[in-house]
Amino acid sequence: AQSVTQLDSQVPVFEEAPVELRCNYSSSVSVYLFWYVQYPNQGLQLLLKYLSGSTLVKGINGFEAEFNKSQTSFHLRKPSVHISDTAEYFCAVIPSGGYQKVTFGTGTKLQVIP
Amino acid sequence: EAGVAQSPRYKIIEKRQSVAFWCNPISGHATLYWYQQILGQGPKLLIQFQNNGVVDDSQLPKDRFSAERLKGVDSTLKIQPAKLEDSAVYLCASSPGNTIYFGEGSWLTVV
């Protein structure tokens, strides 16, 4: 079984400041890792994913994440946030084999302050 | 490439009425999911299909919720009778194997 922990339920940050949203996971098998963003009244949009290869992955809207296997982390970062980044962000994992059962974190609300 | 399509986008019903949601996954995606997301919470898996077979429906309230995926393509999720606590957004998603893509969701309000 897998579990995903997003320790920060809310993260306020000033516009143009950097931000890091934390995600830790546990799993007995290898996994694929994802970040999704959910804007108000919308569905979940794929922000970026790690399947294999380079541990630093770049996504849409200037976001990037680094997979750290030893620390079982997949933190999301952006060097300079905009008002439009205000949304909820979900970390998720899928086992790399078998049926694609997704485990989501509880989400982090990013509030960008003008 | 067309995304996951869902309808209706918004629905308001009275408790004890029934409602049905429809989902058309991305072409060629074998796996289809229905999630329930209550305001302020993360998505909760209701049911997962692999082609037209059910892989996981352990969290589906089977006394009132039902879902089917005919011919391994489109899917419908039905709630009958609805309760106030069913007010949520119902997200359909599909996957070709290693990445899950979501639709815009169907917002249900039960009054």
Pairing of strands B10-13, B106-110: parallel
- Looking at residue B40, the DSSP 8-state letter turns out to be T
Q: What confidence score (pLDDT) does residue A98 get?
A: 65
At residue B1 the predicted structure's pLDDT band, cuts being 50, 70 and 90, is: low
SS3 A7: coil
Number of C-beta neighbours around residue B83 at 10 A? 12
Above pLDDT 70, what percent of chain A? 97
Q: What confidence score (pLDDT) does residue B74 get?
A: 95
* Range B80-86 average pLDDT: 97
Q: Would the pLDDT of B88 be above 80?
A: yes
DSSP letters for A35-82: EEEE-TTS-EEEEEEE-SS-SEEE-GGG-EEEEETTTTEEEEEESS--
At residue A72 the predicted structure's pLDDT band, cuts being 50, 70 and 90, is: very high
pLDDT (tens digit per residue) in B35-53 = 999 988 889 999 999 988 9
Pairing of strands A103-104, A87-95: antiparallel
Report d(CA B108, CA A103) in Å as an integer: 24
Q: What confidence score (pLDDT) does residue B97 get?
A: 81
Average pLDDT in chain A: 93
Q: What confidence score (pLDDT) does residue B82 get?
A: 97
* Range A35-41 average pLDDT: 92
**Candidate from B43, B100, B105 with C-beta closest to A100:** B100
pLDDT (tens digit per residue) in A44-70 = 999 999 998 899 999 999 999 999 999
Q: Give the residue from A50, A57, A42, A49 showing the smallest Cα distance to A87.
A: A42
Q: What confidence score (pLDDT) does residue B42 get?
A: 86
Q: What confidence score (pLDDT) does residue B23 get?
A: 97
Report d(CA A46, CA A53) in Å as an integer: 19
Mutation target among B24, B26, B29, B37 for the A interface, most CBs of A within 10 A: B37
Residue A60: phi, psi to the nearest 5? -80, 165
Report d(CA B73, CA B54) in Å as an integer: 13
Above pLDDT 90, what percent of chain B? 86
Please state the length of chain B.
111
| Record: contact B102-A102, CB cut-off 8 A | no
At residue B78 the predicted structure's pLDDT band, cuts being 50, 70 and 90, is: very high
Q: Does A111 touch chain B (CB under 8 A)?
A: no
Q: Which of A37-41, A63-67, A85-89, A98-102 has the lowest mean pLDDT?
A: A98-102
pLDDT (tens digit per residue) in B45-74 = 999 999 889 999 999 999 999 999 988 899
Q: What confidence score (pLDDT) does residue A42 get?
A: 87
Nearest CA in chain B to A52: B98
- Residue B58 CB contacts under 8 Å (≥ 6 apart), including other chains: none
| Record: contact A99-B104, CB cut-off 8 A | no
Report d(CA B27, CA B31) in Å as an integer: 11
